[in-house]
Chain A
Amino acid sequence: DTAVSQTPKYLVTQMGNDKSIKCEQNLGHDTMYWYKQDSKKFLKIMFSYNNKELIINETVPNRFSPKSPDKAHLNLHINSLELGDSAVYFCASRRTESNTGELFFGEGSRLTVL
């Protein structure tokens, strides 16, 4: 069983479209994240949720809207896609009580905007 699963794994779309990426974790964690990995493999945090509540919202265009229907799910909706949104998006989770910085990542969703 995959601990953190993301769908879809690949997404190719045209500029201006709206798309969503879904994330689910079965680890019982209550903190979840979205990270963006660019073409140079740099990983940057976008959002963090704790128990469905937004905790961290980095400088991300408001075209990106996360939604956490319950603590096992954190979805990412992107409006009016732009070329610069092309990247790999990773969902991750951790136990809130954990102090070690261990995050469990999904396998990523590669978004290509044409």
Chain B
Amino acid sequence: QQQVKQSPQSLIVQKGGISIINCAYENTAFDYFPWYQQFPGKGPALLIAIRPDVSEKKEGRFTISFNKSAKQFSLHIMDSQPGDSATYFCAAFSSGSARQLTFGSGTQLTVLP
């Protein structure tokens, strides 16, 4: 069963626009929520991450909004650029002794010039 659900599957945005990707999780045994960015032919790389006791985190043009009661979190990319075109994955990092990342299904973002 998929514990982290991500939408949309694909997103096309004009340069300068705002890209929004949404995720929802089911398991409460997660204690960190990172977002990863993956370019073709490369491995995923950490973009930004948030703790569940924080409602928002901003790094440059990237912002995570977190709603613990709704078990939802989202990534906002402001002033989207063609270089942001990539696949974005939300993830949840489990607590406990066997810590692992559970990924969402990914969003293919295309930013048009």
**Chain A positions near chain B (C-beta within 8 angstroms):** 4, 31, 33, 40-45, 48, 55-56, 90, 92, 99-103, 105-108
The distance from the CB of A95 to the nearest CB of chain B, in whole angstroms, is 11
**CA A102 to CA B105, docked complex, whole Å:** 18
Is B43 in contact with A102, judged by CB distance below 8 angstroms?
no
Is the CB–CB distance between A55 and B98 below 8 Å?
yes
A45 to B44, CA, bound (A): 13
Interface size on B, residues (CB 8 A): 27
Residues of A near B108 (CB, < 8 A) are: 41
CB neighbours (8 Å) of A92 from chain B are 43
Do A101 and B93 contact each other (CB < 8 Å), given the known contacts A42-B105, A42-B106, A92-B43?
yes
Q: Which of B12-39 contact A (CB under 8 A)?
A: 31-34, 38
CB-CB < 8 A to B103: which residues of A? Answer: 42-44
Let me know if A99 and B89 touch, CB within 8 A: no
Inter-chain CA distance A106–B44, complex, in Å, is: 8
**A48-B98, A101-B32 are known contacts. Are A4 and B105 too (CB-CB below 8 A)?**
no
Contact pick for B34, options A41, A44, A90, A101, CB 8 Å? A101
Residues of B62-113 whose CB lies within 8 A of A: 87, 89, 91-93, 97-103, 105-106, 108
